[in-house]
Structure 1
Amino acid sequence: MSEQWTSKIGFILASAGAAIGLGALWRFPYLTGTNGGGAFFLLFILFTVFIGLPLLIAEFVIGRGAKREAVSAYPKLVNSKAWSWIGRFGVVGCFLLMTFYAVVGGWILLYALLSFGNFVLVDGRDYEQLFISITASPWASILGLVLFVFLNVVVLSFGIKNGIERANKYLMPLLFLFLLIIIFRGLSLEGAMEGVRFFLQPDFSKITAPGLLEALGQSFFSLAVGFSCMVTYSSYLGEKQSLPGSAAYVAAMNVFVSLLAGLAIFPIVFAYGIEPASGPGLLFIALPAIFAQMPFGALFLSLFLLLFFFATITSSLSLLEIIISAFTQNKGWNRRNVAMGSGVVVIVAAIPSALSAGLLSGFAWQEKTVFDLTDLLVSNVMLPVGCLLIALFVGYKIKRDLLFHQFQLAAGPVGRIAPFWLFLMRTLVPATILLVFIAQFFL
């Protein structure tokens, strides 16, 4: 393999960037708001620790053990080409995920560009109506989509060392700093503590079977597991890196950023009387409301949105990388040509989702647009299925010695828990995924 991560921190930050992005900062707040607050957050943490983290380690083990991208990693480990379909399932899943993910990335980019011209923060502006007008505009939505995918292609054309790793080292810490600024300002608002209570005080009466599936799906979505993205990322990893340690850092950072996102959004939501169940537009409505009350608010909003855009693009990079690497590693195709071709196909396929709030708003099934249905298919169906397949593959198909060798490399005392991890992969992880998935049809 020609490319490798140049440092441990580079791999961890890139993996965290792939995991955090829209999962923690955009999707988590609005799902938490829709599903009752604190109980959803607690379930999300439990699913992340006991289900998502073992699966993240599993994808790391598969990737580094095979030293191959997703499609060829599985058959190499069991010496059977038949198992390549798990990787192919992941490629399809990443592609579908990218078709609505890129639309949201385009929204963020447009907001960032508009905020530099003081267009967003205007006295008396209805921020909910602003979000509706931007997302309903076909020209704005498609322009944002094209720009977002184009920037992904540019970064991925430079590869791992010069593209993904370098960017993560410098910009991720700045994002954390801005989140802390928003939290401190939001907590100073009148009525903010009601939002804190909503977010941190569990009320299990508000949890439904579909809500359980949403919490489980969010743990998979935010950790970027289920579609073998992390198999591809860890295939570039050397043997001096502890896989369980790296996975624990990624999971901890993901939960921490989700906590920060909740503390940043919900105090503002309740202080300004915004409906917490506002859906995908929640973040875009709440952020301008708080920055409008800060000195140099327009400048800070622009900078935050750029950092938010960066967090978004680090996630989308992992989605496109699994597609690109399937051609560049196995068939020797030129990386830049494959990146450009993949970008064009994603743009064309994402147009229906981009137009869902405007021209295609009338095309809906049970009040769900193409955008909503794609999100539902990917997050609540394909991700759990992908995670179940990976759990069964690791738990029952790969040789125990290979698993333990990869798990214990550079792991130190943590390596001793390898049997417990394998036990989870064989029992708790697949059983929980099946129970939660089936429960939505009967409860």
Structure 2
Amino acid sequence: MQTSEQWSSKIGFILSAAGSAIGVGAIWKLPYVTGISGGGAFFLLFILFSLFMGFPLLLAEFVIGRSTQKEAVSAYRSIAPHTKWHWIGKLGVFTCFLLLSFYSVIGGWIVIYFVKGLFGGIISDGADYSSVFNQTIGNPALVIAAQFVFLAFTVLVVAKGIQNGIEKVSKILMPALFVLFLVLIIRSLTLPNAVEGVKFFLAPDFSNITSESILFAMGQAFFSLSVGVSVMVTYSSYLSKKESLIQPAISIVSMNLLIALLAGLAIFPAVFSLGLEPAEGPGLLFVVLPAVFDQIIFGEAFLIGFLALFLFATLTSAFSMLEIIVASVVKGKEENRAKYTYLVGALILIVGVPSALSYSVLSDFLIFSKTIFDSADYLVSNILMPLGVFLISIFVTQKIKKSTLREELLQHSRLGGKAFQIWFFIMRYIIPIVIIIVFLDITGILDKFMSIF
């Protein structure tokens, strides 16, 4: 069934889609994954994967969604009826469900810090912010309550629909986030020894790159752009056929890379200046932010403002994850939206509780030496998303007519047939081959094969 809602404007779509991409992926996850994966070389790989794999894939999901005007599962079924290809959409729905189950935990951490900031409970002279963070996430009742608050707000917005919910909030919050980021960067770059942090972040040292860090960089590019899970299939299904697909894709990728750059320039100079460890892990942002704002006049007020915007940037990503799940259930029957949104939100909370307890009562419960939280993150970012990307690249080039692809991509744009041919070649050959090689390398099969020669 065709979707009954549409974005009110192209800018609304761009900001909402960018909000889906910009959030925990770029602001929270990229700095700490960069920190544990070698710094500048990893960031360079992330940029390359974003441009040469993420961007083409974003366009591919746009084509699937906009051409059918249907949510993820129905879109694949519409293009390839009486086949199993609609399972790509179901894989995306499952991945988003699992992703939001641990993503909401991070959202809960931000809620806690925001509330603490309002009451002046974060910044204090001589505070060990690493210990503060560990104590915070080690409180079982607190983290579950905060996770509930985060999910409740997400559910309320998505229940209101596209224009009145997701789009309206995104138009206000995304521009404000850029402004506060600039304030944070200016202060971070003026701290003593900040240049060492800039070097770590931007000067590539490929001696630190391993096959696993390459997989992480690829997964991070997909995670940051929300590709491989068919979120953008659902979002683009609400886009008018009168709009170009190329321009929004360029805007989204550019904004995502800019925020990633800003996040690194805000975090790493402060990390090195304050003598912190770049490989801190998931808590890096929550340790660095208070430490930096502690060095700024009216730092508490700036911290509250940044946490508010970071919270809403995180929420805009959560909106997209919940939307693909809800849309696949509602299937255009908007009268059922609210009921199913509440039900799905409750199920996600239940599944997410073990991740929330990964740093307290379930800290000793490990899966292949990883906590439940880290295991869920690894499964989503490094297995399910690349698998989704692989399947989408095959589907687009094998199941959609080349003439249809050309028409969808080139209409209302100034690009010609040569650009389309390059895109098609990347989708058909480069992306599947790269993903296969990376997986063969990570499993050790490639090394065994190469040893034969």
For the aligned pair, the TM-score class normalised by the smaller chain equals over 0.9
Alpha-carbon separation, structure 1, partners of 2:100 and 2:129: 26
Q: Does 1:176 align with 2:178?
A: yes
Q: 1:133 maps to which residue?
A: 135
Residue 291 of structure 2 aligns to a residue in which SS?
helix
SS at match of 2:279: coil
The aligned amino acid for 1:238 is S
Task: Provide the rounded CA distance (Å) in 2 between the counterparts of 1:3 and 1:80.
Answer: 27
2:146 to 139, 144, 147: 144
Cα deviation 1:50-70 (Å, max 9, x = unaligned):
011000000000000111000
Tell me the SS of whatever aligns to 1:195. helix
Larger displacement relative to structure 2 (259-268 or 433-442): 433-442
Match of 1:431 in 2: 433
Distance (Å, rounded) in 2 between the aligned partners of 1:409 and 1:78: 23
1-side partners of 2:77 and 2:145: how far apart?
40
Give 5+ residue unaligned stretches, structure 2.
Answer: 448-453
1:59 is aligned to 61
Show CA shifts across 1:173-210 (max 9, x none).
11111111111101111110000000000000000000
| Partner residue in 1 for 2:388 | 386
Q: 1:355 aligns with which of 341, 354, 357?
A: 357
* Contact residue 384 and residue 437 of structure 1 kept, 8 A: no
Match of 1:345 among 339, 344, 347: 347
Give yes or no for the alignment of 1:21 onto 2:7. Answer: no
Q: Deviations over 1:206-257 (max 9, x none)?
A: 0000000000000000000001000000000001221122111111111110
Q: Match for residue 236 of structure 1?
A: 238
CA shift for structure 1 position 19: 0.5
> Could you say which residue in structure 1 is the equivalent of 2:314?
312
Alpha-carbon distance, 1:403 to partner:
1.1
For residues 413 and 404 of structure 1, the distance between their equivalents in structure 2, rounded to whole angstroms, comes to: 10
Aligned-partner SS, 1:83? coil
What is the distance in 1 between the residues matched to 2:333 and 2:35? Answer: 45
- Identify which range, 330-339 or 281-290, moves more after superposition: 330-339
Q: Do residues 191 (structure 1) and 193 (structure 2) align? A: yes
CA-to-aligned-CA distance 1:112-146 (integer Å, 9 cap, x gap): 11111110011111100011011111011101110
CA-CA distance at 1:160 after TM superposition? 0.4
What is the CA–CA distance in structure 2 between the aligned matches of 1:413 and 1:52, rounded to whole Å?
Answer: 19
Deviations for 1:389-442, whole angstroms, at most 9, x for unmatched residues? 000000112111211111112122356522221111001111111111221122
Of residues 391-400 and 281-290 in structure 1, the stretch that sits farther from structure 2 once superposed is 391-400
- Kept in 2, the 8 Å contact 1:138–1:354? The answer is yes
CA-CA distance at 1:78 after TM superposition: 2.5
| Structure 1 unaligned regions, length at least 5 | none
Counterpart among 83, 86, 111 of residue 84 in structure 1: 86
Distance 1:239 1:71 in 2: 20
Q: CA deviation at 1:283?
A: 0.3
- CA distance in structure 1 between the partners assigned to 2:417 and 2:151 by the alignment: 40
In the alignment, the residues of structure 2 paired with residue 231 and residue 434 of structure 1 have an alpha-carbon distance, to the nearest angstrom, of 24
Per-residue Cα deviation, 1:327-368 (whole angstroms, up to 9, x for no partner): 212566611111100110000000000000001001013431
Task: Provide the C-alpha distance between the structure 1 equivalents of 2:367 and 2:64, rounded to a whole number of angstroms.
Answer: 38
Map of 1:258 onto structure 2:
260
AA paired with 1:90? G
d(CA) in 2 for partners of 1:383 and 1:376?
A: 10
- Displacement after TM superposition at 1:82 (Å): 2.6
In 2 relative to 1, CA 248–387 (structure 1 residues): closer, same or farther, beyond 3 Å?
Answer: same
Equivalent of residue 41 in structure 2, options 39, 42, 45? 39
Contact 2:211 2:442 (8 Å CA) reproduced: yes
1: distance between equivalents of 2:220 and 2:53?
A: 12
1:68 maps to what in 2? 70
Provide the residue aligned with 1:208 in structure 2: 210
Residue 451 of structure 2: aligned partner: none
Tell me if the contact between 2:118 and 2:304 (Cα under 8 Å) persists in the aligned partners.
yes
Between the aligned partners of 1:336 and 1:14, the Cα distance in structure 2 is: 20
The structure 1 segments of at least 4 consecutive aligned residues displaced by more than 2 Å after TM superposition are: 78-82, 330-333, 412-416
Preserved contact between residue 407 and residue 415 of structure 1 (Cα < 8 Å): no
CA contact (8 A) 1:291 1:300 kept: yes
> C-alpha root-mean-square deviation of aligned residues, in Å?
1.2
| Paired AA for residue 323 in structure 2 | E
Q: Residue 403 in 1 paired to residue 416 in 2? A: no
CA contact (8 A) 1:65 1:77 kept: no
Does the 8 Å CA contact 1:409/1:415 hold for their aligned counterparts?
Answer: no
Say if 1:426 and 1:110 are closer, same or farther in 2 by CA, change over 3 A. same
Letter matched to residue 328 of structure 1: V
Tell me by how many angstroms 1:81 deviates: 4.7
Q: How far off its partner does 1:83 sit? A: 1.8
Aligned counterpart, 1:220: 222
The size of the alignment, in residue pairs, is 443
Structure-2 separation of matches of 1:333 and 1:82: 29
Moved more, 283-292 or 365-374: 365-374
Matches of 1:403 and 1:366 in 2, distance apart? 42
Q: Given residue 394 of structure 1, which amino acid in structure 2 is its aligned partner?
A: V
Q: Given the two structures, how large is their TM-score scaled by the length of structure 1?
A: 0.98
Aligned to 1:98: 100
Question: In the aligned structure 2, how far is the partner of 1:79 from the partner of 1:366?
Answer: 39
1:414–1:20: structure 2 CA closer, same or farther, 3 Å change rule? farther
Secondary structure, aligned partner of 2:407: helix
Give 2:9's aligned amino acid: S
In 2, the alpha carbon distance for the partners of 1:79 and 1:331 equals: 21
Q: Is the 8 A contact 1:23 1:222 kept in 2?
A: yes
1:12 aligned onto 2:9: no
Distance 2:297 2:226 in 1: 36
Aligned equivalent of 2:450:
none
1:304 to 1:414, Cα distance in 2 relative to 1, 3 A: farther
Distance in 1 (CA, whole Å) between partners of 2:368 and 2:427 is 36
Q: Indicate conservation of the 8 Å contact 1:39/1:203, yes or no.
A: yes
| SS, match of residue 76 in structure 1 | helix
Counterpart code for 1:155: V
Residue pair 2:4, 2:332 contacting (<8 A) in 1 also: no
